[in-house]
Amino acid sequence: METFFEYEMIRTAAYYSVSVLALIVFLAIFELVTKYKNWVEIKKGNVAVALATGGKIFGVANIFRHSIEQSDSLLMMLSWGVIGFCLLLVSYFIFEFITPSFKVDEEIARDNRAVGFVSMIISVGLSYVIGASIIAR
């Protein structure tokens, strides 16, 4: 198997495939923890949900970018990606916790674009912090 991964194109395809599959799983998990249905709301034109979801997608992809750079195996890359995702998920709950005057999920579901934008920035910003902390070698 190691000989198989000596080919750059095969290794790239493997990292890409695992990252995309993980992204799909992670988006499904985000869907479970939010009170709204991401894709239904986006189809209806809810920009706040689109911003929040876009931030989550970027955040997860950015974490995987760093995990690919710092890992020497597919399994290690996936492990760091899962840890990074869990930290990003915790960040989402912290955002809800630090805003006791309103419910983040409800505001995003109501298309409150300011809350959707802040949610996106939190996901993107913290993905850089999480990614920078990944040191696997």
Structure-token match 């095969």, residue found? 10
Total domains in the chain come to 1
Maximum Cα–Cα distance for the chain, whole Å?
56
Residue 137 lies in a domain: no
Residue 4 and residue 10: Cα distance in Å, rounded? 7
Please check whether residue 1 lies inside any domain of the structure: no
For residues 55 and 125, is the Cβ–Cβ distance under 8 A?
A: no
What residue numbers bound the domain in which 61 lies?
7-132
Residue 2 lies in a domain: no
pTM: 0.88
CB 77 within 8 A of CB 68: yes
Residue 80 lies in a domain: yes
Contacts of 26 (CB under 8 A, 6+ apart): 56, 60, 85
Please report whether residue 101 resides in a domain.
yes
Q: What is the pLDDT along the chain (137 residues), one digit of tens a residue?
A: 556 556 788 888 999 999 999 999 999 999 999 989 999 999 999 999 999 999 999 999 999 999 999 988 899 999 999 999 999 999 999 998 999 899 999 999 999 999 999 999 999 999 999 999 987 55
Sign of CA dihedral 51, 85, 32, 22: positive
